[in-house]
Amino acid sequence: MIEFVYNYFDRYAKIFKKKGGRRWMLKRKFDSSQKNRVEVDLPELQSDPGKRLKNIIDFDPNIHERVRRKYYLDGAFQPREHEFPQALIQGTLRRFNRAWFDEFKWLEYSIEKDAALCLYCYLFKNELGHQGGGDTFVSEGFRDWKNKDKLRKHEGGHNSAHKKTLSKCQDLLNQEQHIETSLARSSEQNRQNYRVPFRGHDESQNSINQGNFLELLKFLACHNEEVRRVSFDNAPGNDKLICHNIQKDIVRSCAWETTNVILKELGDNFFSILLDESRDVSVKEQLAIVLRFVDSKGCVVERLLGFKHFTRTTAQALKCALLDLLSAHGLSVSRIRGQRYDGASNMQGEINGLKDLILKENECAYYIHCFAHQLQLALIAVAKNHINIASLFHVLCNIVNVVGGSCKRHDSLREKQAVRIIQALENEEITKGRGLNQESTLNR
């Protein structure tokens, strides 16, 4: 570990000097920000709902709120001057009634489709799932001009899907609840939290703990003369390699070297995959991929290969994320001999789950339900059917939170528990057991 950290530190220092120092870093930062930026021409968004080829969920997740805000502020598309065509409905010629625009503010009319739709449901229905009913007022369009009552039925009661989308639209314009406001409030705290594991609160020379990166660099400088000659006070003022951008690049290099060690350890052997989804602090879905294999010494080992960000949790999206990460490291699906996931439908579904998608490409990739998730499901089932067990977990959770939050309460609990055990032993309410290990453990 120390050796390849040193090698990459030395190699990065040479590249940094060769390419122009800080100017090279600024150019890389600018190129990276340009590459990751998502642009959308908001004025070009289609007003006519019949011409909207994209659902909100099909836009890049980073601009969902901007698109919703644009549509909501523009208001429902209501072409009052349009000559609405007639249609034969139950033997009578009928057409859309423009007076409905005044009664239903959410109502949109598509000239393209000659149909009525709901702006609020278009903006937020995908977040309600099956609660939102069908797609009549979202994509297909309503054309039964005889039954205006269906428009009132669509509005529903105070807890209807339509009213929930209306509430979400109102929250969208409420700056106090807006996501950007929340992020602005927490951004400083997030930056401080980020600095704790990697950089440290105080990185001055007199600091007791300068953060993991600088402490590791100090350790290398103390044990390697070549590193000491080019680091800290011995380095030029503009070439200390302690900028946070450079630190990240060095850490990425270390991560890549670590991955190469894992792949070298794996060699040409078969392996199993362990997958699970997780949401990080930036509220992004990450797929954690772990390899399980037998090394050259005959030991079963598990190694984290990496994380893959994905925007959709469908089985096909998970498969693409898995294959992308495997192919990036030169691994083939044909070498998989086992799969282990949780019991979610997108993971182990019998028809289109990730398990079956992998089995279609490799019949030897046998699936095993994750034992940890099986235990969790068993505990949940027992707690749901036995109120005493559910109460036990609730009480334990409160105890852990209360006691664990204070060293004083923690020590007090240990002392009182020790007194209770001693009294129980003296009263022969509990036995120490016959084994030496049991006796010594209990006495301690």
Question: From residue 268, how far is each of 65, 314, 358 by CA, in Å?
Answer: 47, 30, 20
Is residue 7 predicted with pLDDT exceeding 90? no
pLDDT band, very low/low/confident/very high, at 439 (cuts 50, 70, 90): low
pLDDT at 364 over 50: yes
pLDDT at 131: 52
- Per the prediction, the chain carries an average pLDDT of 77
CB of 338 within 8 A of CB of 368? yes
Least confident segment among 83-92, 112-121, 123-132, 221-230:
123-132
pLDDT at 1: 46
Phi first, then psi, for residue 133 (nearest 5°) are 75, -150
DSSP 348-381: H-TTTSHHHHHHHH-TT-EEEE-HHHHHHHHHHH
The pTM is what?
0.42
pLDDT band per the 50, 70, 90 thresholds, residue 442: low
Hunting for tokens 């079956």 — which residue is that?
A: 356
pLDDT at 291 over 90: yes
More confident residue, 108 or 170: 108
Range among 36-40, 103-107, 228-232 rated most confident:
103-107
Residue spans of the domains in the chain: they are 2-36+182-252, 43-173, 269-374, 389-443
User: For residue 34, what pLDDT band results from cuts at 50, 70 and 90?
Assistant: very low
Helix (H, G, I), strand (E, B) or coil at 217: helix
- In this prediction, residue 215 has a pLDDT band, given cuts at 50, 70 and 90, of confident
The count of residues in the chain is: 444
pLDDT of 29 > 50? The answer is: no
For residue 348, the one-letter residue type is: Q
Is residue 199 predicted with pLDDT exceeding 60?
A: yes
Kindly report which listed range (75-79, 154-158, 192-196, 243-247) carries the lowest average pLDDT score.
192-196
pLDDT beyond 50 at 416: yes
Q: How far apart are CA 152 and CA 159, in angstroms?
A: 14
Report which of residues 320 and 25 the model is more confident about. Answer: 320
Look at strands 92-94 and 271-279 and give their pairing. unpaired
**355 close to 274: Cβ distance less than 8 angstroms:** no
| Contact (Cβ atoms closer than 8 angstroms) between residue 355 and residue 348 | yes
CATH number assigned to the domain covering 269-374: 3.30.420.40
Instruction: Tell me the pLDDT tens digit for each residue of 234-258.
Output: 777 666 667 777 777 877 888 888 8
Average pLDDT over residues 156-161: 82
User: From CA 166, how far away is CA 174, in angstroms rounded?
Assistant: 13
Cβ count within 10 A of residue 250? 20
Closest CA to 2 of 368, 319, 258: 258
- Across 93-102, 167-176, 210-219, the highest mean pLDDT is recorded for 93-102
pLDDT, average across residues 219-225: 84
